[in-house]
Structure 1
Amino acid sequence: MNASLPTRSPCPPGACNCGRETLQDMRILLLTREEEKRLLERLENLQSLADLEHMQRKLFENLGIRLQISPSDNEVRTMRGFNIQIEELPGLCRKTRQSIPAAIRRALERQPQIAYRLLDAQDLLRDA
């Protein structure tokens, strides 16, 4: 018996500009609201840089979401000093696009050693 995987229900008309109707890669629709909650909880509870990198790989492999995290061009004094960008992807809702970086920032605030490892990985002292 072939049971189809649950997909995300469409947003109300006018509430989102996700471009769901122009999708070619349907993987993003597997991110249901319940799965999104689990994903955000998992991102908020990151324990290490390796854990964050693992989640980045899984987001791309399973959903096609490309997540890039880098220090800003200016100083990084707080967790807001990191550029957390999600590549434009049809089907990814605006709220989800905002929730993922927010969850990662909360994780960086809880586990500042992850932020330090990110800075080290970007060669923090390259101009010194």
Structure 2
Amino acid sequence: MNANLPLRQPCPPGACTCGRERLHDGPADAQRILLLTRAEEKRLVERLENVKSLDDLTHLQQRLYEQLGIRVRIAPGFNEVRTMRGIQIELQEQPGLCRKTRQALPAAIRRGLERNPQVAFGLLDAHDLLRDA
């Protein structure tokens, strides 16, 4: 990693199971997750909460993967979707992704979907769930 870029501070020992220590032995591509500092995480959470359209959400998913290597999967659940809780939001497991971040990003996406229901409807329609409505 470039020494000029700020890196995320390590979690206290025993408080997190992110596997950060495994990143130092791996390729530089895997270490890019460390660029997500707490300040950048707050900006990202704010951006996810204020998503305006389904295209905006898919663009954010793509940028998360390109810049940090975080894969986010958003899809309707197996059962009937009556609330935003019925939409599954999963982050792919990867070393260096803090436990709190794994909880904060899906929660921010869910809050963004609750603020803008048209994005959730677009997501459901993209998965062909509203074809008969």
Q: TM-score range by the shorter chain?
A: over 0.9
Question: What does 1:10-89 align with in structure 2 at a 5 Å threshold?
Answer: 10-23=10-23, 24=26, 25-89=30-94
Structure 1 counterpart of 2:99, from 94, 102, 107: 94
- The change in CA–CA distance for 1:21 and 1:12 in structure 2 (over 3 A counts) is same
Q: Distance in 2 between matches of 1:51 and 1:125?
A: 20
Contact 2:75–2:127 (8 Å) recurs in 1: yes
Structure 1 length normalisation: TM-score?
Answer: 0.95
Query: What is the identity, as a one-letter code, of the residue corresponding to 1:97?
Result: R
Count of residues paired in the alignment: 127
Query: What is the identity, as a one-letter code, of the residue corresponding to 1:30?
Result: L
Query: What is the identity, as a one-letter code, of the residue corresponding to 1:10?
Result: P
Displaced runs of 4 or more, over 4 A:
125-128
Q: Percent identity?
A: 70
SS at match of 2:52: coil
Structure 2 length normalisation: TM-score?
Answer: 0.91
Structure 1 counterpart of 2:114, from 97, 100, 109: 109
- Following superposition, the deviation at residue 4 of structure 1 comes to 1.3
Unaligned runs of 5+ in 2: none
Unaligned runs of 5+ in 1: none
- The change in CA–CA distance for 1:125 and 1:106 in structure 2 (over 3 A counts) is closer
Query: Alpha-carbon deviations, 1:21-75, whole Å to 9, x = none?
Result: 1113110000000000000000000000000000000000000000000000101
SS at match of 1:69: strand
RMSD: 1.6
Q: Distance in 2 between matches of 1:22 and 1:127?
A: 49
Q: Distance in 2 between matches of 1:70 and 1:78?
A: 13
- The change in CA–CA distance for 1:127 and 1:45 in structure 2 (over 3 A counts) is closer
